[in-house]
Amino acid sequence: MLNINEDDLKNAIVEKTADELLRHDEDLSAMVSKEVQRRIEKIFVDRADAQIAAAVDAAVQKGFDVEYQRVNNWGQPEGEKTTIRAQLDKLIGGYWTTKVDLRTGKPGDSYNSTTRAEYLMTQICAEDFSEEMKKHATNIAGHLKDGLRGQLASVMDNMLNDLFRVKSLQDQGKVTKPY
């Protein structure tokens, strides 16, 4: 009985095949080399892009949290130290809580004022309500017109029947009514 190691046999076959292919076909070697190089470059580009994006994100985040202090025209410090993030929070928060006139939406602190957020929500809701009311009013006017047309036709038929005792083609159903 022969004692053959199956893994050694597989490895030998793979090595022999690879040697034969590379020995007989130099183009194959060049193609494999190019493909390996292309894949290495792609991996490098992907990883480099990811690291660059992470570095930019970190720099931006850090930039928002760096403290600074305003200075006047002569370079003298003015006011408290702050960060860009704190200034943006104050600016954005202040925008929505600023008191505005109920009619115009312009900033002003009067008896008829509300916050900008409440004013904008009121405007949006009013526009939606107005559009819905227009649709319903149009539908009601259409139904009213159709109802009046039908009622007028009925009244006119009764008046014509009272006035003329003759059965017309329309009365007999041989011709359609224009209304």
Tell me, yes or no, whether 49 lies in a domain: no
Tell me, yes or no, whether 51 lies in a domain: no
Tell me, yes or no, whether 32 lies in a domain: no
Instruction: Assign 146 a pLDDT band (cuts: 50, 70, 90).
Output: confident
d(CA 112, CA 101): 6
The predicted-structure confidence for 134-143, as pLDDT tens digits, reads as follows 888 888 888 8
**Could you tell me the two tokens for 19?**
């040697």
Contacts of 76 (CB under 8 A, 6+ apart): none
d(CA 50, CA 22): 37
d(CA 19, CA 135): 82
**Could you tell me the two tokens for 98?**
């600023």
Tell me, yes or no, whether 54 lies in a domain: no
Tell me, yes or no, whether 168 lies in a domain: yes
d(CA 137, CA 129): 12
**Could you tell me the two tokens for 40?**
């290495």
* pLDDT number for residue 28: 66
Q: Is the pLDDT of residue 22 over 70?
A: no
Instruction: Assign 168 a pLDDT band (cuts: 50, 70, 90).
Output: confident
pTM: 0.36
Query: What's the average model confidence in pLDDT over 127-147?
Result: 85
- Per the structure, the complete domain to which residue 131 belongs is given by 82-172
Alpha helices in 25-115 (DSSP H): 26-65, 84-97
Instruction: Report the run of H or E that residue 25 belongs to, with start and end.
Output: none
Tell me, yes or no, whether 2 lies in a domain: no
Tell me, yes or no, whether 72 lies in a domain: no
What SS3 class is residue 155?
Answer: helix
Tell me, yes or no, whether 116 lies in a domain: yes
* pLDDT number for residue 26: 63
Q: For the chain, how many structural domains are there in total?
A: 1
